[in-house]
Structure 1
Amino acid sequence: MTESTAKKPSRIQLRNRKRIMDAALDVFSQHGYRGATLDQIADAAGMSKPNLIYYFDGKEAIHVALLNALMEKWLAPLAEMGPEGEPLEEMLGYIRRKMEMSRAYPRESRLFANEILQGAPRMRPHLESRLKPLFDEKSALVRGWMDQGRLARSDPAQLILTIWAITQHYADFDAQVRVLVPGEAEGWTAANAHVEAMFRNLLTPKDTGS
C-alpha cells in the first residue's frame, strides 16, 4: 500500500500514520535525513519495519510528508503580519510568534534547518512557489512602512532574515542554550524580553526633529 489510496483511511490507519510521523520527527531532527534510517523510525514508533512500509513507501516519503506539514506551520506567523495593524506592533507580534514557535516546536525547526543545510533537495519547490512570494510580499509591506516613516529604515529582506536567525537559534541550538542559560522558564522569559527589546529599539523611528 502506498501513501495514496482510493479508500478513506480508517481511524486506526490515521492514528498509526500520526504515530510514524511523530517518531520520524524525533529521528530526523536528531540525525538529519542522511543519518536517519527506517529501522530507527520503526523502533521509535514501536512497530515493525514491514508495518511501517505498509503506510509509507520509504524514508523519503515520510520526510516529504513531514516537510509538507511543516511548511503550513512555518508560513503562518509571517502570513499573519498584515497592513491593517500598527507597524511596530505588527513586527513585534511576528517576532513573538516566531519565539513561541521555537519554544513549542524545536524538533520541527531542526528538521527544517537540516533540510536547508543539505541544499533543500526535497523542500526547494515549496521555497520557490510558496515561501518566496510570501517573503517578497512581506518585505514590500515592511518597506512601505519604512517609506512612511513608521519604522526605522533598514533593508526589509535582511531584517526578516535576521529575525529568523535570532528566533530560530533558540530551537536549533536548544542543547547549547540549556547549558549556557539554565532554568527553562526563566531562560525563555529572559530571551523573549531581550529579543523584543532589541527589535523594538531597532525598529522604532528615531526622532530627527532636533
Structure 2
Amino acid sequence: WLEATRRRHFAARGSRAVLRAPPQRIPVCTPAAAMAVTGSRPRLVKAPTLKENQENALKLPEQYRTNDVFMSNFRKLMGSDTQDLVAQLINEGQGHLFMGWLAAGSSDDTDKKHLLLQLKKLDKTSPGGLIGYIQRARKLLAESKAGVNPFEGCTPSVPEGVNLSFGSAEFERYEQMGLAAARDTVFVLVAGGPGGGPGASGVK
C-alpha cells in the first residue's frame, strides 16, 4: 500500500504531462458512494445507475474493463461524473494515478476518495478542465523541445506615453489617477534571464 501511494503521489519525471495529488485526510464515507465537496463540507454523491456504469465502463481501455480490482472501485466509489472524468484521464495516459489500488472496501478507500475529490475539484477550476490542461502541457513541451518561438511574427514596439515634469499640475493629476487605480492593481515582478526572446534589448 505504501509503495502504491508513493507511486501515485510522486509521478516519474519525463516529457509527458502528469498529475500529482498531495496526501490529505478526509472524513470517511461509505464505499457504496463517491464523495464531492461543497465548500469545506463533504457530501455523498448518488451512486451511478446500472446503465451509467455500463456506459462509462465502455469509455475505458480494455485492460481496465477486465481488471476486477479497478472495476470494483470504478463501480462502487465513483459517481457517474467521476467515472467519466477517470475514463478521460486514463485515455490521456494518466492511468498511473489509479495504479496499485486495492479492491473497493479496503483500507485505502479514504485515500482513493480524497484523490477523486481533488481530481474533480481541479477539473472544475482549471480552464478547459484537466484534459485541456494535460493537452496544453503536452503541446507546450513539444513546442519547447522543437525550439518553437511563441513570439514568432511579433514585432516589439515602444508604446506611446506622456512626458511629465515632476511637480507640475499635469504630474499631480496623473499621480492622483495612478493612486486611485493602485488599490485595484496587482504588481508582478518577472525575474530570470535577460528577456531577449521577444527580440528587444531595452528594459522590459
Q: Which has the higher Rg, Structure 1 or Structure 2?
A: 2
Flag whether TM exceeds 0.5 (same fold).
no
- TM-score scaled by length of structure 2: 0.22
- TM-score scaled by length of structure 1: 0.22
More helix by share: 1
